[in-house]
Amino acid sequence: MAERSPVSTIERLESEVRTYCRSFPAVFTRARGAWIEDDAGRRYLDFFAGAGALNYGHNHPALKEALLGYLASDGITHSLDLATAAKIAFLEALDQHLLRPRGMSYKVMFPGPTGTNAVEAALKLARKVTGRTQVVSFTNAFHGMTLGALAVTGNSAKRNAAGVPLTNVVRAPFCNYLGEGGDSLGYLETLFSDRSSGIDAPAAILVETVQAEGGVNVASPAWLRALAALAQRSGALLIVDDIQVGCGRTGRFFSFEDAGLQPDIVCLSKSLSGYGLPLAITLLRPELDAWQPGEHNGTFRGHNPAFVTATAALAHFWADDQLARAVTAKAELVRARLDKLAPGCDAQVRGRGLIQGLACADPSLARQICQRAFEHGLIVETAGADDQVVKLLPPLTATVAELEDGLDRLERAIARAVAERAAAPRREAVAS
């Protein structure tokens, strides 16, 4: 894609590794709810929502008020993992609004502040507890960029940047990867029960219930339950990476609740602070808490301003099931609209809750749709091995009118991209 970025300072000073500022070449200044504004005063509907870090939209007033009050009172900002009033309030809110109502008794570990830190901690703990080294992860999985999390990630471009062998992982086909009827779990079961299969018993099975970066691949509840049973039979811990599709993205707070799973370990980050502040946690069954004090450490384990907004988000959105029900209703609206749009761009609709995607038969069309959408004031990003999926992640708090507005813009973008294809079929939009 030709770079049309007006941001010469960024081109001059920021590393070539930058990505999203290339896809969305504008200088952003302000944001509120589902809207983000650039320095020319243009407003965009944000259906990317920080890749799922802004489930409650930008700068939600209830969260902002809590944060401003905390800062104004000289509340503690940095504290390593000291006991602070903000941390205690967060743990109490988590227990009250998430764990107890669900009959869960997880202990909470604060790894570093990002998602990949939560995954590293989960992998390390699973290996420590089981004394095993191999971890099962899936085709098209995405778990983060540090070496342990990268080893369980599928994407070859990301893996190739590691510079060292990425090892101690058994790759298995995700739900429906082998097509309908392909029995990926039967294969694993056979491998694990055959002492001559050459596969060591795994420490853990790590899974996303919906592979978001991997192309909006949805695991069926039956597959997830069979996976959990397989993990149990093989003495492996079940780790759910709920970093992108947790925090209400699929309706209920945890994406695995619908399937009735009780993972041994759960990774959360992205929308956990609710305000776009970095915060990650690794939830573990109490029996697994084999850590020695300080054995896994870090300077930013628990960032107090993020605790404050996370606590406010839990109280505001998760004291009842209103948000979960709204997500389910809004998801139906989005889904119905995508079902109508899909045939016009030779795409297949996939998703659960408010993560929905259009998987285009022609991958470069997906990129072109996103570019045109941006010109129509809608921010949407692609996902998948070939960036072939237009991935919609609107804030869960977007109103019905905003959702319809965004889908109208998407419809116009699709019409333009398809018309351009028809006019100049050989013009490729992508060079990523």
Taking the least distance from each CB to ligand PLP, the nearer of 242 and 402 is 242
Closest CA to 205 of 267, 153, 151, 135: 135
Rg (CA), the chain: 22
Structure tokens at 222: 């039956």
Element (H, E) at 388: none
Query: Smallest distance from the beta carbon of 14 to ligand PLP, in angstroms?
Result: 18
The single residue among 25, 57, 115, 276 that binds ligand PLP, judged by CB under 6 A, is: 115
Structure tokens at 311: 């606590």
* Close Cβ partners of 231 (under 8 Å, ≥ 6 residues apart): 204, 205, 237, 238, 264
Taking the least distance from each CB to ligand PLP, the nearer of 206 and 370 is 206
Q: Are 138 and 211 in contact (CB under 8 A)?
A: yes
Binders in 155-194 for ligand PLP, by CB under 6 A: none
Residues facing 348 on adjacent strands? 359
Stretch that binds ligand PLP, among 81-89, 114-122, 221-229, 421-429 (CB under 6 A): 114-122
d(CA 367, CA 1): 9
Closest CA to 174 of 199, 153, 147, 144: 153
Query: Smallest distance from the beta carbon of 142 to ligand PLP, in angstroms?
Result: 5
Stretch that binds ligand PLP, among 137-145, 187-195, 310-318, 326-334 (CB under 6 A): 137-145
Taking the least distance from each CB to ligand PLP, the nearer of 93 and 122 is 122
Stretch that binds ligand PLP, among 21-29, 76-84, 115-123, 171-179 (CB under 6 A): 115-123
Structure tokens at 317: 């959105």
Confirm or reject binding of residue 143 to ligand PLP (CB under 6 A): yes
Element (H, E) at 46: strand 43-46
Burial of 264 per CB tally in 10 Å (0-12, 13-18, 19+): buried
State the residue number with the nearest CB to ligand PLP.
115
d(CA 108, CA 121): 11
Query: Smallest distance from the beta carbon of 277 to ligand PLP, in angstroms?
Result: 12
Structure tokens at 75: 């509340």
Binders in 354-373 for ligand PLP, by CB under 6 A: none
Query: Smallest distance from the beta carbon of 269 to ligand PLP, in angstroms?
Result: 5
The single residue among 23, 55, 84, 114 that binds ligand PLP, judged by CB under 6 A, is: 114
Query: Total residues at the site for ligand PLP (CB under 6 A)?
Result: 15
Query: Smallest distance from the beta carbon of 117 to ligand PLP, in angstroms?
Result: 7
Confirm or reject binding of residue 142 to ligand PLP (CB under 6 A): yes
d(CA 308, CA 218): 32
Q: Are 296 and 81 in contact (CB under 8 A)?
A: no
* Close Cβ partners of 80 (under 8 Å, ≥ 6 residues apart): 299, 301
What are the helix (H) ranges across 61-175? 61-72, 85-94, 115-130, 147-151, 156-160
Burial of 221 per CB tally in 10 Å (0-12, 13-18, 19+): middle
Confirm or reject binding of residue 273 to ligand PLP (CB under 6 A): no
Taking the least distance from each CB to ligand PLP, the nearer of 117 and 397 is 117
At 375, the amino acid letter reads E
Taking the least distance from each CB to ligand PLP, the nearer of 149 and 228 is 149
Q: Mask 239-268, x = binds ligand PLP (CB under 6 A)?
A: --x-xx------------------------
Binders in 222-241 for ligand PLP, by CB under 6 A: 241
The single residue among 269, 271, 388, 397 that binds ligand PLP, judged by CB under 6 A, is: 269
Stretch that binds ligand PLP, among 2-10, 141-149, 281-289, 319-327 (CB under 6 A): 141-149
- DSSP-derived pairing of the beta strands 378-379 and 281-284: unpaired
Q: Are 246 and 84 in contact (CB under 8 A)?
A: no
Taking the least distance from each CB to ligand PLP, the nearer of 337 and 350 is 350
Taking the least distance from each CB to ligand PLP, the nearer of 116 and 130 is 116
The single residue among 67, 91, 93, 212 that binds ligand PLP, judged by CB under 6 A, is: 212
Query: Smallest distance from the beta carbon of 280 to ligand PLP, in angstroms?
Result: 7
Query: Smallest distance from the beta carbon of 114 to ligand PLP, in angstroms?
Result: 3
Taking the least distance from each CB to ligand PLP, the nearer of 115 and 363 is 115
Q: CA dihedral in degrees (48, 155, 263, 128; nearest 10)?
A: -130
Site residues (vs ligand PLP, CB under 6 A): 114-116, 119, 142-144, 208, 212-213, 241, 243-244, 269-270
